Structure 1
Amino acid sequence: MQKRKLSFWEIWNMSFGFLGIQFGFALQNANTSRIFETLGADVEDIPILWIAAPVTGLVVQPIVGYFSDRTWTRLGRRKPYFLVGAILASIALFFMPNSPELWVAAGMLWIMDASINISMEPFRAFVGDNLPEEQRTLGFAMQSFFIGIGAVVGSALPYVLTNWIGISNTAAVGEIPDSVKWSFYIGGVIFFLAVMWTVLFSKEYSPEELEAFEENRDAQKVEPKTEQEIKKNISMQTKVGWIMILIGAVVSYFIYAKGLTKELYILFIGLIIVGVLFLIVSELRKKRIKNGFTNIVSDLLNMPKTMKQLAWVQFFSWFALFSMWIYTTQAVTGHVFNTEDTTSQLYNDAADWVTVMFTVYNGVAALVAFALPVLAKRTSNKFTHMLALTLGGISLISIYFVTTKLGLILSMIGVGIAWASILSIPYAMLSGSLPSSKMGYYMGVFNFFIVIPQIVASTILGFIVSSLFDSQPVYALIIGGVAMILAGLFTLNVKTNSRLNKD
C-alpha cells in the first residue's frame, strides 16, 4: 500500500497554516528586542530575556510530537495541536505589546513562544505523514514559501503601518509605539485564520492506514530490539547521564569560581537536569517500567545516524540565525546609524529599517524556495545546502562593512537564500530516515538542534559582546556569519539512506 501523490493545491492547503505561524514568529523576531529595550532592558540583558523562546521549544516540541504520534480524534492526528496552538498564540500576540513592565514582556514571550511551538511542530510531521517520499521536498519547499510570505508581511508591518497609513512609530519613554501594537493585533488574527484554513481544508491518514504503508521500510533503526541490545542501551544511557552531570557540575563550579556572568549557569544546570533524567529513566528501564516519560527520554539516545550528523549542521546554522535576530536591531541602530536613544526619530527609523531588512531576507527565501529543490536535483542536497549557508554567512559578516540602507538590503539577499535552505533541505534529508510511528517525536527532537544553539547564544553572546567587543553588537553578527559557514562545511559529512538524497 502506497501513499497517493497529492495535487499542488492539496499541498498548498496542508501548508497554508505556516503563513500564520511565521507571521507571528516574524513579529516576535523583529520586535521583541525593541520591546525589551523600550521597557528598559540593557543590551547585555537582551539575550537572556530571549531565553524563553528556545527553552519552550526544547520542552514543548518533543512532547507535542510524541503525543501527536499517538493521537487520533474526529479532527485528525496533528490538526488538534494546530488549532489549540493557534488559539493560544493569537491571544498572546494581542497581549505582548501591551506589557506594562519588562518582566511582563519576558513572561509573555514564554507564553507566546510555547503556543507557536504547539502549532508549528506537528506541521513538519504533517508532511512526512501525508506525502510520499518523492513529494516531501516539494512539501517542505511549500512550507518555506509560506514561511517567507508570512515573514515578509509580518516583518514589514510596523514600517508599512507607519509610512503608508501614518500610525506613529514613536511613543513616550517606556511605552510601545502604536505601529508595533497594531502589527501584533493584525498578526493574532492572521495566525488564527491561516491555521484554520489548513484544519478545514486538509485531510490526514488514519493510524491504520499509516501502519499499512511500506514507505518507511528503509527507515534507519532507532531503538534496540533484542534483550542484549536493550541492556547495552540502558548501560549507555547511564554512562551518558553521569557524563552530563559531571560536565555540568564542573563547568558550573568554574563559572562560580571565576565570577563569570550568571547567565552561563542556565546551559550547564540544564545539562545536569538532563543527566539526572537519563539516570532516572535507566533505572526505570532496568525494572521493566515503560511509559511515555521513559520513551521520550530514551529515544534521545536512539536517534537515527542521519539526525546525529545533521545536528551539527543545525547547531551552527541556528546559532547564526539567533545572533542575527537578537542583535541586528542594536547593530544597525548603533553601528550603522550611530544612535542609542530609543526615544529619538533616528533610532526608531533605523529600527523600522531592520524590519525592512527582515522583510527582504524572508522575501528572498519565498522566491527561491522552489528553486532550491531544482538545484538539489541537479547536484545534491548536500551541495545545495552548503552553498546556501556559505552565502548566508558571508552576508552576515558583510553588515560590519555596510554604511548605507541599500547596502543593508543587499546583505540580506544571501541570508534569505540560507534561510530558505535551512527551512527545507535538512528536513528533506531527514524525513526518509524516520519511522512513521515516531515521525512527530523525532521532528520535535530535531528541534533540539535548533533550540540548543539558541540557548548557547542567549547565555554566551551577551558575555562575549560585553567582555571582548566593548558591547558592540555588530560583532555578534560576524560570529554568526562564521558559524553559518561552518554549518555549510558540516553538511558535507551527512549520509542518508534515501534514494532521493544524493551522497
Structure 2
Amino acid sequence: MEVGTSSSSGGGAFEVEQDSEALPAEVEAEAPLWKLIVVSAIAAGVQFGWALQLSLLTPYVQLLGIPHKFSSLIWLCGPISGLIVQPLVGYYSDNCTNRFGRRRPFIFSGALLVIFAVILIGFAADIGHSSGDPLGKVTKPRATIIFIVGFWILDVANNMLQGPCRALLADLSGGDGSKTRLANTLFSFFMAVGNIGGYAAGAQSTLYKSFSFTLTDACDVYCANLKSCFIISAVLLLIVTAVAVTCVGEIQYTKKATEGGEGKVPFVGELFGAFKNLPRPMLILLIVTALNWIAWFPFLLYDTDWMAREVYGGEVNDNGLYDKGVRAGALGLMLQSVVLGFMSIGVELLARQLGDVKMLWVGVNFILAIGLALTVAVTKAASHSRKYDAHGHPLLPNSSVKAGALAIFCVLGIPLAVTFSLPFALACIYSSDAGSGQAGLSLGVLNLAIVVPQMFVSFLSGPWDALFGGGNLPAFIVGAVSAAASGILAITLLPKPRSDGKIVIP
C-alpha cells in the first residue's frame, strides 16, 4: 500500500490514497470542521487536569510524607493503566454497538470518573484527617492511601477519555489524510490550551481565596490551591465533554456478519495479532516513540521539583522557598505550553521547509536531548551563584539563572508539539489506509510504546537519582541520551519518501 506525504500539521503529514469503501459507515464521511473542533476541545479539559498532575502532584506527595526516591512509584499507575485500559477501551470502542455510538459512551464515562477522582485527590488530606491522620509536617498514611486511589482512578479515566477522543476524530475524518492531519493539529492545539490553563492555575499562590472552603486545618495554603485547581478542572471537563457528546452524534454501529462469528479473536489475541501484522514503518514508529518517551517522562515527572530543588535550592516543608520554586516551574510549563500551541499550528510549515518528516523527527529529538542536557548547566550555575541570608537559608536565585531555567521549558515546547501529534496521526492513518476502521485498537497499540517507557522510568528514576545523591539530574541525563538515540534511529530506520512524495509500506 502507498501513503503519500504532504507536510505535517500537528504531526499528521501523510495523505492516504483511500478507497471510498474503506470509510467507516457509522460516521459521516465529510464531517464539518466545527465537529472536529468540538471533539478536539475535550483535550483542553483533559490536559488541564494533566497539567495539574505534572506540576503539582510530585511535590504534593512529598508533603504527604512520601520520600522523593519513592514518589516516582506513585506515577506507575499512569503507565500501568495505559498499558491495560487504553488498548482495552480502544478495542471495545471499535466494537461498541451502543445506540449512542462507539466512542461517546466511553468519553462520557471517562469524564465522570475524572470528576470523582479529582474530588478524592483534592480532599485527600481532609478525608485522611477525619479518619485519624495527625496534623503537622508528618507522614499522613490515610491521606496518602486516598490520594493514591484517586490518582489511579484519574489515570484510568484519562485513558478512557483520550483514546476514544482521538478515535472519534479519526472516524469523523472519514479516512481523509488531510482531515486526519487537521484533526490531530486541533487536538494538539487544545492540549496546549489546557496546559496553559492548568499551569497558569498551578502557578497562582492565592487561588484558594476564590474557594474559601478549601483552606482547612488539614489542608494548608498549598493544598488548598491544589484543591481549587482541581475543582476548576472538573467543571471545565464537564462542560467541554457535555457539549461534545451532545452536539456531535454517531450512528449506531452494527457489526457485519463476518465480524461477529464464532471465530472472533478475543481482545488479547487481537492485540498480539495487531503487533504481528504491523507494517514495518509502524514498528519503527513504535521504537522511536518509545525512546522519545524515555526521554520525556523524567522531565515531565520532575520538572517542577527540579526547579524547586536544584534551581531555587529549596526543600520540602522549608517555609516557602520550595513552594516558590514549584510555582516558578508551573510558570515555565505554562510558557512551554504557549510555545506548544504555536508549534502545533506551525508544524506543517516546518515539515514543508525540511521536506522530510523523518528530518522533523530527527530535529526535535536532538532539540530535546540538548534541552535536557542544559539542565545540568543551569543547575551548576544556580549552585555557584546561590546566596544565603544571615541564618544560612538560601535566597532566591538571580534573574539570569531563572531566565535560563525558563528558557529550557520554552525550548522544549518545540519537540513536545511533535510528540503530541505525529505518532497519533500516523497510527490513525495506517489504520484508515488498511480499511479496518480499528483506530481505537491502533491507538491502543501505539499507547504501549508510550506507557512501557513510563513504567521503566517510574521504576528506575527514583532509585537511580538516589544513587547519585537524590537530585533529579541523573534521570534527566538518561533522558538526553535516549532522545539522541531516538533521533539517530529516526534518521537511520524511518523510511524516506520517494521523489514523488510517497512511502511504500511493506
Query: Which amino acid in 1 is paired with 2:148?
Result: A
C-alpha separation in 2, matches of 1:106 and 1:50: 9
Matched, 1:422 2:422: no
Query: Which amino acid in 2 is paired with 1:494?
Result: L
Residue in 2 aligned with 1:342?
317
Residue in 2 aligned with 1:103?
145
Match among 141, 146, 150 for residue 194 of structure 2: 150
Give deviations 1:298-340, integer Å, cap 9, x for gaps: 4333333222111121112112221012222332222111121
SS in 2 for 1:447: helix
Q: C-alpha displacement at 1:170, in angstroms?
A: 9.8
Matched, 1:363 2:362: no
Query: Which amino acid in 2 is paired with 1:201?
Result: C
**TM-score, normalized by length of structure 1?**
0.78
Match among 375, 379, 392 for residue 399 of structure 1: 375
Q: C-alpha displacement at 1:501, in angstroms?
A: 6.4
Residue in 1 aligned with 2:155?
113
**Aligned Cα root-mean-square deviation (Å):** 2.8
Match among 309, 312, 320 for residue 295 of structure 2: 320
Query: Which amino acid in 1 is paired with 2:149?
Result: G
C-alpha separation in 1, matches of 2:316 and 2:52: 22
SS in 2 for 1:181: helix
Residue in 2 aligned with 1:46?
71
C-alpha separation in 1, matches of 2:233 and 2:280: 39
Match among 19, 25, 31 for residue 44 of structure 2: 19
SS in 2 for 1:121: helix
Q: Aligned pair in 2 of structure 1 residues 81, 173: CA closer, same or farther (>3 Å)?
A: closer
Q: Aligned pair in 2 of structure 1 residues 174, 187: CA closer, same or farther (>3 Å)?
A: closer
C-alpha separation in 2, matches of 1:181 and 1:360: 23
Residues matched between the structures, number:
426
Residue in 2 aligned with 1:451?
451
Q: Aligned pair in 2 of structure 1 residues 166, 190: CA closer, same or farther (>3 Å)?
A: closer
Q: C-alpha displacement at 1:133, in angstroms?
A: 1.4
Q: C-alpha displacement at 1:196, in angstroms?
A: 1.8
SS in 2 for 1:303: coil
Q: Is the 8 A contact 1:64 1:118 kept in 2?
A: yes
Q: C-alpha displacement at 1:363, in angstroms?
A: 1.7
Residue in 2 aligned with 1:219?
none
C-alpha separation in 2, matches of 1:171 and 1:347: 21
**TM-score, normalized by length of structure 2?**
0.78
C-alpha separation in 2, matches of 1:500 and 1:117: 35
C-alpha separation in 2, matches of 1:9 and 1:173: 45
Q: Is the 8 A contact 2:428 2:442 kept in 1?
A: no
C-alpha separation in 1, matches of 2:502 and 2:480: 27
Residue in 1 aligned with 2:248?
202
C-alpha separation in 1, matches of 2:195 and 2:312: 24
Q: 59-68 vs 23-32, which deviates more?
A: 23-32
Matched, 1:384 2:409: no
Mapping for residues 2-401 of structure 1, pairs under 5 Å: 4-99=29-124, 100=128, 101-131=143-173, 132-160=176-204, 162=206, 177-204=223-250, 207=253, 290-378=265-353, 379-401=355-377
SS in 1 for 2:67: coil
Query: Which amino acid in 2 is paired with 1:109?
Result: F
Q: Is the 8 A contact 2:87 2:441 kept in 1?
A: yes
Matched, 1:475 2:474: yes
SS in 2 for 1:437: coil
- Unaligned runs of 5+ residues in structure 1 are 212-286
Q: Aligned pair in 2 of structure 1 residues 163, 198: CA closer, same or farther (>3 Å)?
A: closer
Give deviations 1:164-188, integer Å, cap 9, x for gaps: 9688999989855211110011111
C-alpha separation in 2, matches of 1:502 and 1:301: 21
Residue in 2 aligned with 1:242?
none
SS in 2 for 1:432: helix
Query: Which amino acid in 2 is paired with 1:456?
Result: F
Give deviations 1:130-171, integer Å, cap 9, x for gaps: 211122111111100000000111122032352796889999
C-alpha separation in 2, matches of 1:412 and 1:70: 41
Q: Is the 8 A contact 2:107 2:161 kept in 1?
A: yes
Give deviations 1:103-148, integer Å, cap 9, x for gaps: 2212211111001110111122223222111221111111000000
Residue in 2 aligned with 1:485?
484
Q: C-alpha displacement at 1:54, in angstroms?
A: 0.6
Q: Aligned pair in 2 of structure 1 residues 205, 104: CA closer, same or farther (>3 Å)?
A: same
C-alpha separation in 2, matches of 1:368 and 1:165: 35
Q: C-alpha displacement at 1:453, in angstroms?
A: 0.3
C-alpha separation in 2, matches of 1:71 and 1:206: 9
Q: Aligned pair in 2 of structure 1 residues 446, 82: CA closer, same or farther (>3 Å)?
A: same
Report the structure, 1 or 2, having the larger helix content.
1
Query: Which amino acid in 1 is paired with 2:113?
Result: L
Q: Is the 8 A contact 1:357 1:412 kept in 2?
A: yes
Q: C-alpha displacement at 1:464, in angstroms?
A: 1.5
Q: Is the 8 A contact 1:121 1:443 kept in 2?
A: yes
